[in-house]
């Protein structure tokens, strides 16, 4: 911890890859994205349905259930968050959003990484393609009725899939004790 705010701690670069950096500041090690790259995470609502994606994630060596998401500016320099969200939604799910709301920036895992993401709500969806991602992403698209979301998550966890923590946003009332939590 830097006890002298006038003398900031120096950041030491331990590793540099294409999409991730490993840094040390004082005794703290953390990951970051090159060039302060950020992500767009999309809550895609279609009437009474939410669009979720399933894909294999190497760090867990299994499939995960997530909100559609992707990096901003990884394909086009100067890309806006909103444009990246629209592009990623089509790439991953095959849906185009007519209405995009930027709900602000959030920290992914502040004790582990400096990475942030912008939460985007996408509405008025039209199916324009197959989705599935690019290259070898092999994304499976799930249209889940909001009323059945808790049961869907319980089922997928029982099958051994890992749930992205951002899905907790969708379970807010249950976490606050206002409705039954999926494990109850």
* pLDDT tens digits for range 123-166: 999 999 999 888 888 899 999 999 899 899 989 999 999 999 88
Global pTM reads 0.85
Alpha-carbon gap, residue 13 to 19, rounded angstroms: 14
Fold of 37-175: Nucleoside Triphosphate Pyrophosphohydrolase (3.90.79)
Q: Which helix (H) or strand (E) holds 30?
A: strand 28-32
For 103-139, letters b (16+ CB in 10 Å) and e give: eeeeebeeeebbbbbbbbebeebeeeeebbbeeeeeb
Angle at 84 between CA 80 and CA 87, to 5 degrees: 140
């Amino acid at each position: 911890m830097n006890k002298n705010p006038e003398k900031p701690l120096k950041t030491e670069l331990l590793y540099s890859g294409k999409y991730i950096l490993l840094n040390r500041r004082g005794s703290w090690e953390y990951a970051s994205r090159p060039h302060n790259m950020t992500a767009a995470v999309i809550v895609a609502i279609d009437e009474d349905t939410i669009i979720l994606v399933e894909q294999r994630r190497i760090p867990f060596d299994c499939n995960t259930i997530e909100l559609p998401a992707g990096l901003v500016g990884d394909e086009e320099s100067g890309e806006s968050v909103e444009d990246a969200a629209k592009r990623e939604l089509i790439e991953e799910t095959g849906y185009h959003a007519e209405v995009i709301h930027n709900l602000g920036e959030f920290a992914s895992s502040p004790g582990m990484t400096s990475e942030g993401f912008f939460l985007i709500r996408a509405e008025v969806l039209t199916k324009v393609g197959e989705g599935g991602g690019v290259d070898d992403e092999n994304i499976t698209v799930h249209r889940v009725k909001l009323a059945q979301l808790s049961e869907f998550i319980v089922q997928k966890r029982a099958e051994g899939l890992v749930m992205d923590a951002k899905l907790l946003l969708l379970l807010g009332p249950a976490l606050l004790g206002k409705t039954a939590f999926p494990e109850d």
